[in-house]
Copies of this chain bind each other. A is one copy, B any other.
Amino acid sequence: MTVNLRPSEALHLWHSAMLGLVRSEAPDLTLRQLSLLLHIYLVPPPHTVRGLAATLGVTKPVVTRALDSMGALGLVRRIRDDRDRRNVIIQRTVGGALYLEKLGDIIIKEGRELAL
């Protein structure tokens, strides 16, 4: 696990990766949506609206709207929590996994070309 970045290198890595992301076909999410998606897929469940809102430091409607949009894109899925039917559990989907896989590819691809 070598994450030895100096500020300038970190920015260059981000630059290439974001450029790759923007240029890609992938539907362009907002920073908040992307952040949310990464959190849902990289942090162990369960994820609730309230929990996600607290994690990102945003209001609940922001999370609800983001889930609407990303749900329509097939990147996440909502289900009711049966043990406490006030809760909504956010689940991963195949589409979301593919999206993140593609993102990971972009990052390492650009990072590699950067190192040359």
A contact set with B: CB distance below 8 Å: 1-15, 17-19, 21-23, 28-32, 34-35, 38-39, 41-42, 55-58, 100-101, 103-105, 107-108, 111-112, 114-115
Contacts and interface: CB of A to CB of B under 8 A. Distances in A.
A22 B18 contact: no
Contact of A22 (B1, B22, B28, B56): B56
Contact of A31 (B28, B42, B105, B115): B28
A38 B55 contact: no
A32 B28 contact: yes
Given A6-B108, A11-B104, 15 more contacts: A3-B9, A3-B115, A5-B107, A5-B111, A10-B111, A14-B107, A15-B38, A15-B39, A18-B31, A18-B34, A19-B39, A22-B31, A22-B32, A22-B57, A28-B32
B115 A19 contact: no
Nearest to A55: B19
Nearest to A4: B2
A68 B101 CA distance: 34
